[in-house]
Structure 1
């Protein structure tokens, strides 16, 4: 009986056809992703834009371009210098005679107007002109321009021997004027002042002079600016 069962088992195995390899799986070729259009970017400002006291790679606008590289944002052209007021930035723009048009323009100006004790009314008038200049750089498109608020240097280590509360109050007034002017011009306004007010306890947030900001801190500005830039570029 066992021999009979074994015979049929062997017979069954012998009749089994050898397994054949399944047809190889193929994946349809993927179309290459189109390269992002090159986004020319211009950054206008003062010491905070030029990155006083830090390497060029730590400037917030440069970091923004790095974060937005996949979106095509190019390293910025920069018109900025430490100490410039709104009037001095406008004069420098005229002197530069830059006739290029950009897909993205940022503006960050006003701290030196406040530092020198200039009236908010003067700042407002000169900023209004600067915003129109920025819009012209953007090809007449206010929707491609954004402005960063003025950092509160009254909360910096440098300001320990100054009237910090007065500085903060004045910065608020200048920023309120800037926000109003941006709204009227159709320009996006980005508040980074609150971030600067939380930096004081951490020395790594500041450049060696204790007044300007480190690349570590300005990275936060760039991170806040990235979704704004992406929205403007849609």
Structure 2
């Protein structure tokens, strides 16, 4: 009887030892699966977080590429910073712009660019080089319509477009060598056409021209070339554009 009891106790002990490792392994597997699931969800969350940001395409010339200032001082970059500070998450702007471009040059550049997405916001600031090179208003208007056709194919269905006025370079030291009144008169003519263009197509329009004219008496609003805006002027533009476009 004692031998039977002893053998029974030994059998129970061995059975307990053999079962515990198996249970431990199953627990490890289950915990490991939970970790993997969390990892996958976190990765998806990161992707969703990135894609949830709004996209912004800025089209133009030297005033959009920020001739004479650092990248973070360009008005599109400062606009994005202001938007982000106000809770509107916008990606780093994609800029299609180059110093010296006329409407025709911008139109060609857009046609030759391989875009990989559509945009929530698109801005257009172009025309100063049309004025400087004495290009006709009719050509300007025709090119604007073609550019808008391109923009409409690049923006999302609910995408927002804003037209920005042409700054007045006559109110700079560089402009002293030219007839300031004539420059301003021509700039006003081009801008009036931009206003009509924006109104006809139901687009927002913002005037930065008056800010640019302060540069004659406020040298800190100009870059070192005494022609293009400084980061400070671009900041004023960015604030006004944000207030007009977003607020």
Select the residue among 24, 38, 50 that pairs with 2:53: 38
Determine if the alignment matches structure 1 residue 197 to structure 2 residue 197: no
Determine if the alignment matches structure 1 residue 145 to structure 2 residue 161: yes
Which one has the largest radius of gyration? 2
Match of 2:122?
105
The 5 Å alignment of 1:1-234 reads 37-69=52-84, 70-141=87-158, 144-231=160-247
Q: State the TM-score, normalized to the length of structure 1.
A: 0.80
3-state SS, counterpart of residue 189 of structure 1 = strand
Q: How far does residue 121 in structure 1 lie from its aligned partner after superposition?
A: 1.2
Q: How far does residue 174 in structure 1 lie from its aligned partner after superposition?
A: 0.3
Deviation digits for residues 54-107 of structure 1, max 9, x if unmatched? 000100000000011121122100000000000100100111121420111111
**Cα distance between partner residues in 2 of 1:190 and 1:173:** 16
Q: State the TM-score, normalized to the length of structure 2.
A: 0.76
Structure 1: which 5+ residue stretches go unaligned?
A: 1-33
**Cα distance between partner residues in 1 of 2:157 and 2:199:** 16
Given that 1:135 and 1:145 are in contact with CA atoms closer than 8 Å, whether structure 2 keeps it comes out as no
**Cα distance between partner residues in 1 of 2:117 and 2:182:** 40
Number of residue pairs matched by the alignment: 197
Given that 1:107 and 1:134 are in contact with CA atoms closer than 8 Å, whether structure 2 keeps it comes out as no
Deviation digits for residues 3-22 of structure 1, max 9, x if unmatched? xxxxxxxxxxxxxxxxxxxx
After the TM superposition, which segments of 4 or more aligned residues of structure 1 sit over 6 Å from their partners? none
3-state SS, counterpart of residue 91 of structure 2 = coil
Q: How far does residue 35 in structure 1 lie from its aligned partner after superposition?
A: 11
3-state SS, counterpart of residue 181 of structure 2 = helix
Q: How far does residue 138 in structure 1 lie from its aligned partner after superposition?
A: 1.4
Match of 1:28?
none
3-state SS, counterpart of residue 198 of structure 1 = helix
**Cα distance between partner residues in 2 of 1:111 and 1:150:** 6
Given that 1:106 and 1:147 are in contact with CA atoms closer than 8 Å, whether structure 2 keeps it comes out as yes
